[in-house]
Structure 1
Amino acid sequence: MTVWDRPDPPARPAPLDRERIVAAAVALADEGGLEAVSLRKVAARLGVGPMRLYGHIATKEELFDLMVDEVHAEILTGEPPGDWREALRVRAHRTRQTALRHEWLADLLGGRPSLGPHALAVTEAALAALDGLADLGTVLRAVEMVNAYTIGAIRREVADRRAERATGLSERDWQRAFGPHLRRMLATGRFPALAKAVYEGPDVDAETTFSTGLDWVLDAVAARLARPPA
């Protein structure tokens, strides 16, 4: 039985329910990452004993599942666009924006399937956007491909943000610190393609990079959808 199938226990003094528990856990994770979340710390945040939580949540993994589903509600806002491409684009951008608000989400995306109601609704919307445009196998692969790109791009962006905080070096600071070494290596002539990318490549921000890559993935989906049935 999943945590969503198991009802909350009867109320006791000092009311406690999963909604309050999950809200406290999300707040802790937003402040200090997943390592800041434990049933003991959540209980302390709520001002109750840790054993009170076990009537609502059996393990920390269940708590993580509930947290993931809670923030998936932020991805589902407004009416979905009618066009499949715009629907998948909006979903990907909302997923990125949600992960940047809750960086710990990047650590949990792409693992075991999310079975909560909000996560299932996000998946339903993606599949519904492509429904009838191709055979089911193609639809599933298309959604998986967009998911894989979105999750990978989010994880890299979050990793970059964490590295900047950990080192205290902005991108410009990093370039000043390590630029001389990189220039010396490139001057050897051993890395001509990399040298061209470093010296001639465009300087784009993270959002532009994400949007461009997403458009390329959606172009590939569109090309597959345009193929006649085998």
Structure 2
Amino acid sequence: MDTSYGNTPLPVWERPEPQPRAAPVTLSRTKIAATAIGVADEHGLDGLSIRKIAKELGVGPMRLYDYVLNRSELLDLMVDAVYARIADGDPHTTWRSTVLTIAHRTREAALAHEWFADLLGARPHLGPHALAVGEATAAALAQAPGLDGIDDLQRALGAVNGFIIGALRREITERRTARSTGTDEAAWQAALGPYLTRMLDTGRYPTVARLVVDGAHLNAEETFHHNLAAVVDGVTGRPRA
């Protein structure tokens, strides 16, 4: 395909949908992405393939290549479909509430589609809905009174996005580990508790001992919100109450 980029194909977002054909099953990129999301939700990214999606749709694998050139384009469509849900919400009146709400919607999306967290922070997400979420986040942070100029905005965006990616990957990794091992927190504590007690009794780890003995088991959602607010307020120079 000759394009303004030479022989490089246009991005999937700019290529028109193939013309409908007389076939028992009608296809669209939206339908393909929705089916792929269902497969990834059940089997993870390792279990995602063009052949498996085609089987779910009841078509031959080659038909899907009319709509996506490769697996990377398929992932782009899936990711942007999730971003569409993150972007779909009521507008907020303050820059801070906008940033916090987008972050919480991103967490909800990642918990519903764990594979989504695997793709956060990897290759750039440039679909229309991903760009809309990025624009809303950047535009909100740009209104923060503590930011002065484009350099401050870039640093703030990097810090907020870095926190979100790290927090979500950790939370989802813990969920996956509990599922794959069949070991919940109580079982883990019972197995390793005696060893940890012996180590803490040496007196070499007093602060760790305080965390283990006196620290409460924190709620994941509340912890995410508290730490997110701390990061947002810190990078924008907003005094915390």
Q: Are 2:231 and 1:217 aligned?
A: yes
Partner residue of 1:4 out of 6, 13, 16:
13
Q: How does 1:29-108 map to 2 (within 5 A)?
A: 29-108=40-119
Are residues 132 and 187 of structure 1, via their aligned partners in 2, closer, same or farther at CA, if it must alter by over 3 Å?
A: closer
Q: Are 2:132 and 1:136 aligned?
A: no
Tell me the SS of whatever aligns to 1:95.
helix
Q: Distance in 2 between matches of 1:140 and 1:71?
A: 24
C-alpha deviation, 1:222, in angstroms = 2.9
Q: Could you tell me whether the CA contact under 8 Å between 2:156 and 2:236 is conserved in 1? A: no
C-alpha deviation, 1:165, in angstroms = 0.1
C-alpha deviation, 1:82, in angstroms = 2.0
C-alpha deviation, 1:220, in angstroms = 0.6
User: Number of residues paired by the alignment?
Assistant: 225
Partner residue of 1:179 out of 167, 176, 193:
193
Partner residue of 1:114 out of 125, 139, 159:
125
Q: Could you tell me which amino acid in structure 1 is paired with residue 52 of structure 2? A: K
Q: Could you tell me whether the CA contact under 8 Å between 2:95 and 2:143 is conserved in 1? A: no
Q: Distance in 2 between matches of 1:167 and 1:178?
A: 15
After superposition, the C-alpha distances for 1:78-114 in whole angstroms (9 at most, x for unaligned) are: 2321211111111111100110000000100011111
Partner residue of 1:153 out of 153, 167, 189:
167
Gap regions ≥5 residues in structure 1:
none
After superposition, the C-alpha distances for 1:137-164 in whole angstroms (9 at most, x for unaligned) are: 2122212211110110000000000000
C-alpha deviation, 1:132, in angstroms = 4.9
Q: Could you tell me whether the CA contact under 8 Å between 1:82 and 1:129 is conserved in 2? A: no
Tell me the SS of whatever aligns to 1:6.
coil
| Aligned alpha-carbon RMSD (Å) | 1.4
Q: Could you tell me whether the CA contact under 8 Å between 1:71 and 1:98 is conserved in 2? A: yes
Are residues 69 and 34 of structure 1, via their aligned partners in 2, closer, same or farther at CA, if it must alter by over 3 Å?
A: same
Q: How does 1:18-37 map to 2 (within 5 A)?
A: 18-37=29-48
Query: What's the counterpart of residue 206 of structure 1?
Result: 220
Q: Distance in 1 between matches of 2:15 and 2:232?
A: 39
Q: Distance in 2 between matches of 1:35 and 1:168?
A: 21
Q: Could you tell me which amino acid in structure 2 is paired with residue 41 of structure 1? A: K
Q: Could you tell me whether the CA contact under 8 Å between 2:99 and 2:141 is conserved in 1? A: no
C-alpha deviation, 1:66, in angstroms = 0.9
Post-superposition, which runs of at least 4 consecutive aligned residues in structure 1 deviate over 2 A? 77-80, 130-134
C-alpha deviation, 1:180, in angstroms = 1.4
After superposition, the C-alpha distances for 1:16-72 in whole angstroms (9 at most, x for unaligned) are: 111111111000011111112100000000011110111111111111111111001
Q: Distance in 2 between matches of 1:99 and 1:42?
A: 21
C-alpha deviation, 1:185, in angstroms = 1.7
